[in-house]
Amino acid sequence: MANYKVGIIGCGNIARAHAHVYKKIANVEIITAAELEPDRRKQFAQDFELSTAYEDYAEMLTKENLDIVSVCTWPRTHCDATCKAASSGVKGIMCEKPMAVNLREADQMIEICAENDVRLAIGHQHRFDAQLVKARDLINEKAIGELVLLWGHCSLDLMNNGSHVVDMINFLNNDEKADWVMGQIDRRHKRKGRGNHPDMYVEDMAVGRICYKNGVRATVELGEFALQAWQFHIIGADGRNSLEIIMAIRSRSLINLPVRVKENPL
């Protein structure tokens, strides 16, 4: 069995989550990390028994022969860290969400990873939540007839759990390609993001509409003026009635309620 050497860029809370999971994989070894803040870097190296730790991730990528890199920094640095890692000879990159802060950066990350034959994954792990997988199984089994509409909402912004909402909706529709997308944001307050992007202003409200090539529609509502529950409504039609799966997620855990199929007369 091959052994994979891992380096982690950023040593904050989410980096610790990555590290704990890597520790559970038999053929993976975390050998190094990079972090600007000295005390955090030192503590992380001690806690995970690393032989080296760097202030500059570019230096780490040059000096260490890594197979996998986790990018666990704030969003503004995701593009640069990912591109430098892809150009350094690694085989795979696990980048935290959101992927980037604009489409140009996201395209650049994809292009450079493709040029270097590097697998790039983004931290949208909620698509593997048991309840979400069950909901998609029900959709594919036609438990609600033909899928018509997906509606997801939460209290946080696009750079935070909003990116999960969009990815989870895509997952529920089997990652069908979009035909068109439209959206609008409202930013009436100078409100900064929470722990994972406190250096960025965020929207008070974001509304999006997606039409997929298979005809399914999706609505996304995020922010202070959205419905505050992290919840998904999955609407189908069997020719006589509209049927709805209501699935709710609170924070990072599943609400302990079964997925429900509810019949509503049209």
What pLDDT, on a 0 to 100 scale, did the predictor assign at position 143? Answer: 85
Alpha-carbon distance values, 242 to 131, 145, 209, 239, 257 (Å) = 21, 8, 20, 8, 22
Distance CA 111, CA 129 (A): 29
Query: Domain boundary at 123, 155, 178, which?
Result: 123
* pLDDT score at 257: 38
Q: Are 173 and 149 in contact (CB under 8 A)?
A: no
159, 243: one domain: yes
pLDDT at 249: 59
The residues near 164 (Cβ < 8 Å, ≥ 6 apart) are 97, 124, 126, 154
Instruction: Mark the ranges of the chain whose per-residue pLDDT is less than 70.
Output: 1-2, 195, 239-243, 245-266
Q: What is the pLDDT of residue 202?
A: 85
Backbone angles phi, psi at 153, to 5 degrees: -150, 155
| 111 and 138 part of one domain | no
3-class secondary-structure state, position 214: coil
The domain that contains 212 carries what CATH number?
3.30.360.10
The share of the chain scoring above pLDDT 70, in percent, equals 88
Number of domains in the chain: 2
pLDDT for 28 equals: 96
Q: What is the edge-to-edge ordering of all strands in the sheet holding 4-9?
A: 28-34, 4-9, 68-71, 92-95, 119-122
**For the domain that residue 59 is a member of, what is the CATH number?**
3.40.50.720
Domain enclosing residue 181, as ranges:
126-265
9 plus 116 within the same structural domain = yes
Give the number of other CB atoms < 10 A from CB of residue 65: 11
Domain-terminating residue out of 103, 123, 143: 123
The verdict on 235 and 146 lying in the same domain is yes
Q: Where are the beta strands (DSSP E) in 96-238?
A: 119-122, 146-154, 178-186, 191-192, 201-202, 205-212, 217-223, 231-237
Specify the pTM: 0.87
pLDDT at 37: 97
